[in-house]
């Protein structure tokens, strides 16, 4: 309550803007994920690792646009690419040379030869699932309990909130995440727990017996929306083996992990290659861009026009210019080394605070991403997340840090995405705020 009142006093400009916004902008925001109680924070500008809200509050940005801005805000190299592209025209509905350059670069980073572009993560996962369905001639989709893959109907199932409403029956549920999702679509999506390859294979065998053999397994190789949950050793290899043996397309949804946890995302980091990969967020360096990459064999259904993978703005020249500059000039091997240094520093700093003040939880990081998981036990999947997660502490930490100029990702997602423009100073500010919270909590 104290921290909440403090934040409300600091954001009176946002409060006024919210009242104005609600008149014609539904709910006062452009996307429901931007809401927070009692009003959203409206941002004025960003530069490098910092952002400023409309009240003039300066914040170190660890939210980074839901993990998209691994390049930092207004990076000069990306600004130059956009400024050079703009006078030459920004949209033709035809391919430009940058499409080819970006596809080549992604192909060498992921070791997957064929690429197409989209405008968002949701489009990427929607198209990847369609490709898998066309390739296999099947309809069923298997996903992971608690995972988010965008806002199209097929994957707005078994995400999480619904489990609260039906008590401990969550493991049986395949419920839609919100209204407007046809039951017929929900009925085609099944879920299994993360980090349990045996459960996945058992479910696949059951589904095969019922005549619902999956077209694909869609999953994040490291989950990024229960905090950060890493794959247990051997899990991804086992999933790769199971999907191969059963003739199921494996899709790694790398909308969050791609370009953020390594140059070639989770695929490079964990050394397990899927049949299809989906990208978005960091790809466009702050402009909307998504991509689907795949093997020759699976992507053939795009090339022979079995699947219409289309979009007016796909491969938008401005987005592709930004993506090209980002890949060639910003997300370099040195940038990944810098991110690794920063992430070690923040993880070790937070873990030292947890140990010193004996807090329930642990720090976890990978690439540019990480979080403090407030929990009495190790979180390995949605079940352990629900059973142990101290959501009250996570919410308090978000508020507490915001009042001290640290902007974290809200909700249950990964708490921080570091950018190449972050410095030791930013990390030390984060850890200092966390230590102040720990001190206040244990007083």
Give catalytic residues, as residue numbers.
Answer: 148, 253, 281
417 binds ligand PLP (CB under 6 A): no
235 binds ligand PLP (CB under 6 A): no
* Both structure tokens of 397: 């930490």
404 binds ligand PLP (CB under 6 A): no
By C-beta, is 3 or 275 nearer to ligand PLP?
275
By C-beta, is 219 or 397 nearer to ligand PLP?
219
Q: How far is the CB of 85 from ligand PLP (least distance, A)?
A: 22
By C-beta, is 293 or 349 nearer to ligand PLP?
293
Residue numbers 270-299 binding ligand PLP by CB under 6 A: 280
Q: How far is the CB of 4 from ligand PLP (least distance, A)?
A: 26
121 binds ligand PLP (CB under 6 A): yes
* Near ligand PLP by CB under 6 A: residue from 64, 71, 122, 267: 122
Going from the C-alpha of 76 to that of each of 72, 83, 156, 267, 317, the distances in angstroms are 10, 10, 37, 29, 18
Gap between the Cα atoms of 393 and 362, Å rounded? 13
* Near ligand PLP by CB under 6 A: residue from 143, 149, 338, 386: 149
Gap between the Cα atoms of 41 and 273, Å rounded? 40
Site mask for ligand PLP (CB under 6 A), range 299-338, x = bound: ----------------------------------------
Gap between the Cα atoms of 342 and 320, Å rounded? 28
120 binds ligand PLP (CB under 6 A): yes
Whether 359 and 441 have beta carbons less than 8 Å apart is answered as yes
By C-beta, is 102 or 260 nearer to ligand PLP?
260
267-274, long-range: CB < 8 A, 24+ apart: 267/110, 267/111, 267/112, 267/221, 268/109, 268/110, 269/221, 269/222, 269/366, 269/367, 270/221, 270/222, 270/231, 270/236, 272/221, 272/236, 272/237, 272/239, 272/240, 273/111, 273/112, 273/240, 274/240, 274/250
Going from the C-alpha of 405 to that of each of 18, 23, 43, 428, 429, the distances in angstroms are 21, 30, 13, 12, 9
172: how many CB neighbours lie within 10 A of its CB?
8
231 binds ligand PLP (CB under 6 A): no
125 binds ligand PLP (CB under 6 A): yes
Residue numbers 245-264 binding ligand PLP by CB under 6 A: 253, 255-256
140 binds ligand PLP (CB under 6 A): no
The size of the interface with ligand PLP (CB under 6 A), counted in residues, is: 14
DSSP 48: B
66 binds ligand PLP (CB under 6 A): yes
Helix (H, G, I), strand (E, B) or coil at 168: helix
Site mask for ligand PLP (CB under 6 A), range 6-45, x = bound: ----------------------------------------
146 binds ligand PLP (CB under 6 A): no
Whether 301 and 308 have beta carbons less than 8 Å apart is answered as no
Gap between the Cα atoms of 156 and 254, Å rounded? 17
Stretch that binds ligand PLP, among 82-90, 96-104, 115-123, 423-431 (CB under 6 A): 115-123
* Near ligand PLP by CB under 6 A: residue from 39, 62, 115, 148: 148
Q: Dihedral through CA 178, CA 407, CA 256, CA 393, nearest 10?
A: -60
Q: Dihedral through CA 194, CA 199, CA 201, CA 202, nearest 10?
A: -150
* Both structure tokens of 142: 């298997």
In the complex, the residues that contact ligand PLP under the rule CB under 6 A are 66, 120-122, 125, 148-150, 220, 224, 253, 255-256, 280
């Amino acid at each position: 309550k104290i921290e909440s009142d403090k934040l409300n006093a600091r954001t009176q400009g946002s409060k006024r803007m919210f009242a104005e916004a609600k008149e014609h902008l539904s709910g006062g925001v452009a996307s429901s994920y931007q809401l927070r109680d009692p009003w959203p924070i409206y941002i004025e500008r960003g530069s490098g690792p910092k952002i400023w809200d409309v009240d003039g509050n300066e914040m170190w940005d660890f939210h980074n646009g839901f993990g998209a801005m691994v390049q930092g805000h207004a990076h000069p190299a990306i600004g130059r690419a956009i400024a050079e592209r703009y006078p030459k025209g920004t949209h033709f509905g035809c391919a430009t040379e940058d499409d080819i350059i970006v596809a080549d670069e992604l192909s060498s980073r992921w070791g997957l030869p064929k690429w197409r572009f989209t405008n968002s993560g949701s489009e990427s996962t929607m198209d990847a699932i369609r490709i898998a369905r066309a390739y296999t001639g099947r309809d069923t989709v298997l996903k992971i309990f608690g995972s988010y893959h965008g806002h199209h109907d097929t994957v707005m199932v078994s995400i999480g909130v619904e489990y609260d409403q039906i008590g401990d029956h969550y493991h049986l549920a395949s419920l839609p995440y919100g209204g407007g999702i046809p039951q017929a679509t929900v009925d085609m999506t099944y879920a299994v727990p993360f980090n349990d390859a045996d459960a996945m294979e058992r479910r696949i065998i059951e589904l095969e017996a019922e005549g619902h053999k999956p077209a694909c397994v869609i999953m994040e190789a490291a989950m990024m929306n229960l905090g950060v949950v890493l794959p247990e050793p051997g899990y991804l290899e086992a999933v790769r083996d199971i999907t191969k043996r059963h003739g199921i397309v494996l899709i790694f949804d790398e909308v969050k992990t791609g370009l953020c946890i390594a140059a070639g995302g989770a695929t490079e980091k964990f050394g397990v290659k899927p049949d299809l990969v989906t990208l978005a967020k960091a790809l466009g360096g702050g402009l909307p861009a998504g991509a689907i990459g795949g093997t020759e064999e699976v992507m053939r259904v795009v090339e022979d026009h079995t699947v219409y993978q289309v979009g007016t703005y796909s491969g938008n020249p401005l987005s592709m210019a930004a993506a090209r500059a980002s890949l060639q000039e910003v997300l370099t091997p040195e940038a990944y080394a810098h991110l690794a240094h920063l992430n070690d520093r923040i993880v070790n700093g937070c873990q030292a605070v947890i140990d010193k003040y004996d807090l329930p939880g642990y720090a976890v990081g990978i690439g540019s991403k990480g979080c403090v998981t407030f929990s009495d036990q190790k979180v390995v999947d949605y079940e352990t997340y629900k059973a142990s997660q101290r959501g009250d502490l996570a919410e308090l930490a978000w508020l507490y840090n915001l009042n001290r100029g640290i902007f974290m990702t809200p909700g249950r997602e990964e708490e921080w995405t570091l950018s190449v423009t972050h410095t030791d100073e930013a990390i030390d500010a984060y850890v200092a705020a966390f230590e102040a919270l720990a001190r206040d909590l244990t007083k």
